[in-house]
Amino acid sequence: MTRGAAWLRVASLAIAVLIVFVFVASSGSLSSDRVRDAVDPLGAAAVPVFVAVSALLTCALFPGPLLAGASGLLFGTALGTPVAITAATLGAVLAFSIARFVAHDAVETLAGTRLAPLQGWIERRGFWAVLYARIVPGMPYSLVNYAAGLSRVALPTFAAATAIGVAPRAFAYTALGGSLDDLTSPEAIVAFGALVVMALVGLVLLRGERNRGRGRASSA
């Protein structure tokens, strides 16, 4: 593959994702009434339909907390949490697969030997690299999906780390979605506490990883 063709593939992926995002973002706001009106008539099919739609919206860079909150609004915390985890993981796998199919080889061509050390580190620590990206606060969930697809992380590793990493926040946002009428309820308070704990754990893990990196650099 020539470098020109590689750049064309990467640009095509970025433009396609951006177009889909703009289309979804301009289609209207997500409200509790709209969510209920769309899903209530589906009956037993509501869960699989929600999972499928939520996964597709994840590929379109739709905010994950809103999708998890909608799951809690529709199905309650007990059912909504596994539904949100399944939808988020499926959406991540779809985005990963799209990036891997469209532009992975192109990125390998463009990277050459310059990014070989970074690619090697990601390949060796694939599970933990993805898990950190899910736990550390501020990391863009949807962009991580595409970026991981362009890396050398194996799909099963990516899927497992994603499912584990998103579970606590999925529970928190699902619980908040199911408690919109009373954000002072015990369920909502636990959800807020889970978000705070996740943020602190993410910062601790990130600091530990940075310290290990400095230790390896100083010993080299």
CA gap 68, 112 in Å, rounded: 39
What pLDDT does residue 163 have? 94
Domain boundaries defined on the chain: 3-212
Give the rounded distance of the alpha carbon of 87 from its chain centre: 10
Q: Is the pTM of this model over 0.75?
A: yes
Is residue 151 helix, strand or coil?
A: coil
Q: How many residues does the chain have?
A: 220
For residue 90, name the pLDDT band (cuts at 50, 70, 90): very high
170 vs 101, 121, 183, 191, CA distance in Å? 28, 28, 17, 10
More confident residue, 27 or 52: 52
% of the chain surpassing 90 pLDDT = 13
DSSP label at 153? -
Is residue 181 helix, strand or coil?
A: coil
Q: By mean pLDDT, which of 41-45, 55-59, 214-218 is the weakest?
A: 214-218
pLDDT in tens, 93-106: 999 999 899 888 88
Section 134-139 average pLDDT: 78
Q: What are the CB-based long-range contacts (under 8 Å, 24+) for 2-5?
A: 2/109, 3/109, 3/110, 5/106
Section 69-95 average pLDDT: 91
Residue 25 has pLDDT above 90, yes or no: no
